[in-house]
A = this chain, B = another copy of it.
Amino acid sequence: MADRILLAHGSGGKLSHELVRQIFLPVFDNDVLNRLDDRAEIETSGVRLAFTTDSFVVNPPFFAGGDIGKLAVCGTVNDLAMGGADPLFLSAGFIIEEGFPMELLKKIVESMRQTCDESGVKIVCGDTKVVEKGSVDRIFINTSGIGAVPEGVSISGSRAKPGDKVIINGYIGDHGMAVMAQRQGLTFKKDISSDCAPLNGLVKEMLGVTKDIHVLRDPTRGGVATTLNEIAGQSGVGIVLWEETLPIRNQVAAACEILGFDPLYVANEGKVLAVVPADKAGRMLESMKKNRYGTESAVIGEVVSDHPGRVVLATGIGGHRIVDMLVGEQLPRIC
């Protein structure tokens, strides 16, 4: 293991997993944390709750389609929703650089409120720290969230089964490329806008189709490739992705091409990967397409018993290539 923290330790990819497994898990060791899902499921006085935390350090804090405030609410709402939980309460912890314009803070706070309103959560506690100029890059926000887990729902990265279908709710790579374009001052003929969105409404509708959803996970840092690798690893199954079915906008594909990114590794902030029993996939897809955040939903692959722990891309010309977890850091500070 490296003797210093590298950017890649925060990438969501291989080194992030190494850090978690070698530094955090052995020390904090407990059943809940060890499950390695996007949120903890805890029980207190017989009530099942979901609990999650996320810090946001996106650079720049304002980008096409959102800002760090919207992102901070969506990120935590979505982590809760990925367990089928109803997000209820959020905390908000701000770390702000001395000199940060009050007007921008107001914008961020307003944007958090709008996203809270949309997703039906309340910010019930908060904290603000201000540090000297140069001690933090403008503004970082942590949100933690509590949700209620409905009866009969058991969604986990370890429940994918051979035969299951993999569904995504729309175009991949939008968020990462929007932030990247903003950061680099790039403009494209068609704008690229972040997909940042609260997905709890969509997930609720999906659970209306069947409570037997095996896995839900939002492909943020590390993108679709890394998230599917996590699922394959946790469930001990193989996953085949069908390249031709992957929804990608032309301008995102073009931006990736120009900048040398693989869209499979680019972060999304309004996407969910769902692993569902094959006989439910059709109805699930139909239902998802009716939601504003699911109009471009597609079945993009399936779970297999071959090559456990591995994700394989079936290409249009009949080839296959292994899609590994993100190695190194592709896009630092994307969220």
Contacts and interface: CB of A to CB of B under 8 A. Distances in A.
A106 interface: yes
B24 A109 contact: yes
What 4 pairs across the A-B complex have the smallest Cβ distances? Answer: A10-B130, A53-B91, A144-B144, A40-B124
A27 B126 CA distance: 13
Interface string A82-117: 000000110111111111111101100110110010
Interface stretch (A44-52, A167-175, A306-314): A44-52
Interface residues of A, number: 81
Contact of A52 (B5, B45, B125, B130): B125
Interface stretch (A134-142, A178-186, A202-210): A134-142
B129 A33 contact: no
Nearest to A137: B135
A148 interface: yes
14 contacts: A3-B103, A7-B131, A10-B130, A20-B126, A24-B126, A28-B123, A30-B122, A33-B124, A51-B125, A52-B91, A53-B93, A53-B144, A56-B129, A135-B137
Interface in A118-172: 122-132, 134-137, 140, 142, 144, 146, 148
